[in-house]
Structure 1
Amino acid sequence: MLEQDIDSLTPSRAFSRRDFVRTGIGTGFAAAVLPTLAQSTITTDASGLTVGEAMIPVGGFNLPAYVARPQGKTGAPVVLVVSEIFGVHEHIADVARRFAKQGYFAIAPELFVRQGDPMSYGELARLIAEVISKVPDEQVMGDLDACAAWAKTQGADATKLGVTGFCWGGRITWLYAAHNPAVKAGVAWYGRLVGESNPLQPRHPVDVAASLKAPVLGLYGGADTGIPLDTVDKMKQALAQGGPAARASQFVVYPDAPHAFHADYRPSYRRQAAEDGWKRCLAWFRSQGVA
């Protein structure tokens, strides 16, 4: 179940700026990252899967999410897929389908929906200032809790709960592994580790490292100009001072990989690092009982 031949996935068509106008969650790409790269963008088909949009109750709010699960299977382990700042676009939905092909109940929630639509922003600075910076960590933790609880009502095995995320979602992965004692394992792809505290982001991964409730595998790029390797070293030092889950956490740094090396629709994509990271991600979940 846990082996995947990435070469068997087929490249998608090219996307232009008109494609940010989507017909539903998990379609199109954010305007800020178009046009995408047709030669590397991966498309995973939905054969054998049940996929589509779900509305997940969070108090009195309905949170949209893209869900991919093995067709007809109950008791599937759960993986929460946390997006980049660009929201749940076609790539994130594809990652959810990749997990579902491996037997997982994958949920990719649209965590920015209360603050705005990141798909519609063509300017990165405006997207961060007007949407991303206004999303409270506490809200995100509650939304992810609701996703895990909802999965249980859908016949999934929420006692086998994993979380993974990319960039913004990588930071959230570390935080969620410290927040929810039900999490068994996390995989953080190039998520920021340090930062200034503010009312909406009071703590960062380095601040919660010692209190992790589940071990996290960090997949980082040695050529990532936004996440200096000295911050990885700081995180390692903080983990070493923590409990069993913190001390069991690991890092893999790909020396020549830039930020977003897994994002196969962007120029930052590095196939070798992405494929190796994906295999390590699956193996990590399996080793921690999320399988």
Structure 2
Amino acid sequence: MPEIESSTANVGGLNTYLSRPAGGSAAGMLLLPMITGIGSQVREFADTLAGHGVTALSWDPWRGRPSADETPMNVLFEWMAELDDEASLAEMGQLLDYLHGDLGCRKVGTIGWCLGGRFALMLGGVDPRLVNVVAYHPTVPGTPFPNHTLDAVEYTAQIQAPVMMLYPGADDLVPVESFQRLQAALQSRAEGASIVHVYPGAEHGFSARIRHSNPVNARASNLAWPQAVAFIQATTQEG
């Protein structure tokens, strides 16, 4: 495993967490966190990817406000209701520019969890530079939240890159009908592999450590993450 460098970084006014192999790498990933923002677990995800040779830059949905490590969950839900789809996608595009430009990455993908999983699918639909999209339990409810002004299913159908989407079978926030619409959108594409995982009995957000008191979630997370890392490496490697 290579030595890694990690730090917070301000990118054009955007708060980020950057972790990369010492000296950088050609492979890059934009991480789109769950409601907990750039908390300890997302930083660990970034560090793990860096240890596998991938530059990992994490978007901060809360724009510098404290992460879940310091913020009560009810406050985070209030912040989530304030997120604007188009403004958020614009910030992500700015970070992709930074990965390709200042950080020197030549192949860049994106991975998101929950709210970040939904954004990963939409970003994949609007930015053809992406070489992969990984969407962990994307938050696409049956009835869109008031601030969900863009249709994630529509954007999913426009993704050109290979996609890995992971769905928990006991998701109480995203009904199976929403998952089926996303899966149909992926499989309607003329290009780009679709790798779809279903974890029976796992709950929404099963990758979050706070949900691992349920052993079904812990097992799903332990099975999913190494496969996601392998998919990221396969799609961002040169050649």
| TM-score, normalisation: structure 1 | 0.73
Q: TM-score, normalised by structure 2?
A: 0.87
2:87 aligns to what? Answer: 139
CA distance in 2, matches of 1:241, 1:153: 33
Taking a change above 3 Å as real, the CA distance of residues 118 and 100 of structure 1, as seen in their structure-2 partners, is closer
Name segments (4+ residues, structure 1) moved above 6 Å: none
Q: Is the 8 A contact 2:109 2:236 kept in 1?
A: no
Give the counterpart letter for 1:112 in structure 2. W
1:77 matched to 2:23 = no
Shift in Å at residue 101 of structure 1?
0.4
- What CA distance in whole angstroms lies between the structure 2 residues aligned with 1:169 and 1:151? 18
**Structure 2: how far apart are the matches of 1:135 and 1:161?**
24
Q: Distance in 1 between matches of 2:16 and 2:236?
A: 25
Identity %: 24
- The structure having more radius of gyration, on CA atoms, is 1
Q: Unaligned 5+ residue runs, structure 2?
A: none
The corresponding residue for 2:227 is 280
5 Å-filtered alignment, 1:1-291, equals 48-57=3-12, 62-73=13-24, 75-113=25-63, 117=66, 119=68, 121-124=71-74, 126-128=75-77, 130-157=78-105, 159-196=106-143, 200-245=147-192, 248-266=193-211, 267=213, 270-290=217-237
Q: Give, in whole Å, the separation in 1 of the partners of 2:10 and 2:139.
A: 29
| Contact 1:194-1:206 at 8 Å conserved across structures | no
**Contact 1:223/1:256 (CA < 8 Å) preserved in 2?**
yes
Corresponding letter in the other structure for 1:205: A
Deviation at 1:265, TM superposition (A): 4.0
Q: Distance in 2 between matches of 1:185 and 1:290?
A: 11
Q: Which runs of 5+ in 1 are unaligned?
A: 2-46
Equivalent pairs, count: 235
Deviation, structure 1 residue 49: 1.0
The Cα RMSD (Å) is 2.4
Give the CA deviation at 1:211.
Answer: 1.1
